[in-house]
């Protein structure tokens, strides 16, 4: 239902943009300047490609996460620690109102954890061996509650769909810019000249950088929401303690694959302009937010 509602919203946005372009007479302005471009068809084309890549990534997210991190899925617990993990995730999932996720452990000395999956009732929650080895049980439970919060909030789905919208408009405006420059500046009358491809690539890079700031803003926002969910499920004091422990270990290298960085719990800590491109707020800001609900 969440996917259908979000898709309906995005389709409505695309239709609205098309209507606005027609009301503003943008199609006529382009035609008057010798730019033969069908904006409606281009918008549909970009939406298909923009969403296709995002949805494929979402559907393959669990498989790629397992392969990329070497995560071992706990099916039959081999020891007390694994039994505790399963029991804890089951308890937190029931309290959050979601289906029992797959539970795994991945080999990494860095203290980290992640959640992924296309469906809140078919997710994967995994923790690193380093986190299990050095964190207290109450802190591990808080980390798991944070990840369960991501799943319950539908963050993986929503972030993917937002990325699809961003991809659509980056492709759309980059091609308008490339097409216009090719027709008006380079005077190409039929087909596309070399200028179109160069300008389109440059425009996609620039627009992609700007658009990533929007995606990263949402990513930072969802971390605060997951922290709040973790505090509700595991206790505010335990969630703060877990974040403080992560802060102590911040100097250790983070070896999560790049595509999973946004779904790990310990990323972030950038300052200045770089903070606009960070998937996580600083741990200090997250601790402060929990201390001042």
Torsion of CA 169, 174, 180, 185, to 10 degrees: 160
> Residue 170 CA to chain centroid, in angstroms?
17
Which one is predicted more confidently, 145 or 57? 145
pLDDT digits (tens, 9 = 90+) for 254-267: 667 655 666 677 66
What tens digit of pLDDT does each residue of 46-83 get?
Answer: 888 877 877 888 888 899 889 888 999 999 999 999 99
CA gap 59, 70 in Å, rounded:
19
| Phi, psi of 64, rounded to the nearest 5 degrees | -65, -35
| Assigned token pair, 269 | 């800590």
pLDDT for 291: 84
Q: How far apart are CA 273 and CA 149, in angstroms?
A: 28
| CA-to-CA dists, residue 102 to 4, 25, 134, 251, angstroms | 24, 52, 23, 29
Strand partners, 103: 125
Provide the mean pLDDT of the chain. Answer: 83
263 pairs with which residues across the strands? none
Q: Does residue 115 have a pLDDT over 70? A: yes
Instruction: Confirm whether 95 is a catalytic residue.
Output: no
Boundaries of every domain in the chain: 1-68+153-293
Residue-level length of the chain: 293
Helix (H, G, I), strand (E, B) or coil at 35: coil
Predicted local distance difference test score (pLDDT) of residue 267: 62
250 or 4, higher pLDDT = 250
CA dist., res. 23 & res. 28, Å (int) = 10
Pairing between strand 113-116 and 124-128? antiparallel
Gap between the Cα atoms of 117 and 59, Å rounded: 7
User: Are 117 and 124 within 8 A, CB to CB?
Assistant: yes
Other Cβ atoms less than 10 A from the Cβ of 140: the count is 24
Is-contact 55 160, C-beta < 8 A? yes
Q: Report residue 17: phi and psi, to 5°.
A: -60, -45
pLDDT above 70 covers a percentage of the chain that reads 79
CA 216 to chain centre: 8
- Choose between 12 and 90: higher pLDDT: 90
- pLDDT average, residue stretch 81-102: 96
Model pTM greater than 0.85?
A: no
Q: Which of 147, 204, 223, 259 is catalytic?
A: 147
**Residue 88 reports pLDDT greater than 60:** yes
Angle at 11 between CA 280 and CA 4, to 5 degrees: 70
Q: What is the pLDDT of residue 19?
A: 58
> What's the maximum distance between 2 C-alpha atoms anywhere in the chain?
74
* Rounded-to-integer distance, Cα 53 and Cα 12, Å: 20
């Amino acid at each position: 239902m969440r996917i259908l509602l979000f898709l309906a919203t995005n389709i409505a946005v695309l239709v609205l943009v098309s209507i606005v372009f027609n009301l503003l007479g943008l199609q006529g302005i382009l035609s008057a300047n010798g730019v033969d471009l069908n904006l409606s068809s281009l918008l549909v084309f970009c939406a298909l490609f923009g969403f296709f890549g995002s949805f494929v990534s979402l559907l393959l997210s669990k498989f790629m996460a397992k392969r990329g991190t070497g995560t071992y899925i706990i099916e039959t617990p081999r020891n007390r620690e694994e039994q505790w993990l399963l029991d804890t995730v089951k308890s937190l999932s029931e309290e959050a109102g979601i289906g029992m996720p797959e539970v795994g452990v991945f080999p990494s000395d860095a203290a980290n954890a992640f959640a992924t999956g296309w469906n809140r009732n078919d997710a994967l929650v995994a923790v690193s061996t380093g986190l299990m080895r050095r964190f207290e049980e109450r802190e591990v439970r808080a980390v798991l509650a944070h990840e369960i919060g991501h799943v319950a909030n539908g963050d993986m789905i929503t972030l993917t769909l937002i990325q699809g919208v961003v991809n659509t408009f980056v492709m759309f405006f980059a091609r308008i810019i490339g097409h216009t420059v090719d027709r008006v500046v380079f005077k190409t009358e039929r087909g596309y000249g070399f200028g179109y491809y160069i300008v389109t690539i440059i425009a996609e890079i620039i627009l992609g950088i700007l658009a990533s700031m929007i995606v990263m803003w949402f990513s930072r926002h969802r971390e605060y929401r997951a922290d709040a969910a973790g505090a509700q499920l595991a206790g505010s004091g335990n969630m703060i303690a877990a974040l403080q422990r992560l802060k102590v270990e911040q100097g250790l290298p983070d070896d999560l694959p790049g595509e999973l960085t946004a779904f790990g719990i310990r990323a972030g800590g950038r300052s200045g302009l770089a903070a606009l491109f960070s998937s996580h707020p600083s741990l200090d800001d997250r601790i402060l937010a929990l201390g001042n609900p």
